[in-house]
Amino acid sequence: MKSFDCKMCGSCCEGKGGIVLGPRDLARLATHLRLSQTEVIDKFGQSSGTKIRLKNGDDGFCIFFAKEKGCAVHTAKPDICAAWPFFKGNLVDKESLHMAKTFCPGINPDISHEDFVEEGMAYLKANHLLADDSTREANALIL
Ligand code: SF4
Ligand code: SF4
C-alpha cells in the first residue's frame, strides 16, 4: 500500500478498552482457538455496555500481545485490528489522520488525505471490514 506499511512496533496493541469483538470476530476467534464463543468471551473478553472488548494483560497491552512475538491471533485478529489505520476518524477528518501519523510509524507521513481515503476505502471494502451494528461492532468501522 502507498499509505500504510506496518512496522510491527506494537504501539497500537497497548491501551485499555479499544478492541471491540463483534459477532464476526467472536466466531473467527472461536474457530481459531478451538473454543466456544462463550469460552472466548470468558477467557479473553469483558463486557462494556452492549459490546464485548478484549482484556488487557498486566503489562497494559492487549491480552493477545507478546513482546518479540507480536499478536498471538494474527491470522484471526479482530476486524478493528485489521482495519487500522483506516478508522472512520482518520477517513473523515484530515487532522485525525495527521495525529495518527505521529502515533503510528506505519502510516506514510507523506500520504495526502485524499489518497489515504481512496486506498483505505478500497481496502476496507475488499476485506469486508465495514460494520453497521453500533450496538455490537466498533464505531470506527461504521461509515
Ligand atoms: S502502531 Fe502502526 S506500525 Fe506500529 S504495530 Fe501498530 S499499525 Fe503497525
Ligand atoms: S488482537 Fe492482536 S493486533 Fe489486535 S490489539 Fe490484540 S495483539 Fe494487537
Q: What is the pLDDT of residue 18?
A: 79
How far is the C-alpha of 119 from the C-alpha of 113, rounded, in Å? 10
- pLDDT tens by residue, 36-84: 999 999 999 999 999 999 999 999 999 999 988 999 999 999 999 999 9
**What SS3 state is found at 68?**
coil
Mutate to test the pocket of ligand 2, among 9, 25, 59, 71 (most ligand atoms within 8 A of CB): 71
For cell 494483560, the residue is: 57
Using an 8 Å Cβ cutoff, are 116 and 101 in contact? Answer: no
**Which cell numbers hold the place of 44?**
479473553
Ligand 1 lined by 126 (C-beta under 6 Å): no
Measure 60 CA to ligand 2 centroid, in angstroms: 12
Name the residue with the closest Cα to ligand 1, atom 8.
Answer: 6
The CA-based diameter of the chain, rounded to the nearest angstrom, is 44
Count helices and strands in the chain by DSSP H and E runs = 6, 4
Within a 13 Å sphere around the CA of 135, how many CA atoms are in the beta-carbon half? 1
Using an 8 Å Cβ cutoff, are 140 and 131 in contact? Answer: no
Measure 4 CA to ligand 1 centroid, in angstroms: 9
How far is the C-alpha of 3 from the C-alpha of 32, rounded, in Å? 30
How far is the C-alpha of 47 from the C-alpha of 53, rounded, in Å? 6
- pLDDT tens by residue, 9-41: 999 999 877 799 999 999 999 999 999 999 999
**Which cell numbers hold the place of 125?**
471494502
Measure 13 CA to ligand 1 centroid, in angstroms: 8
Q: What is the pLDDT of residue 49?
A: 93
Ligand 1 atom nearest 6 alpha carbon: 8
The domain limits of the chain are 11-141
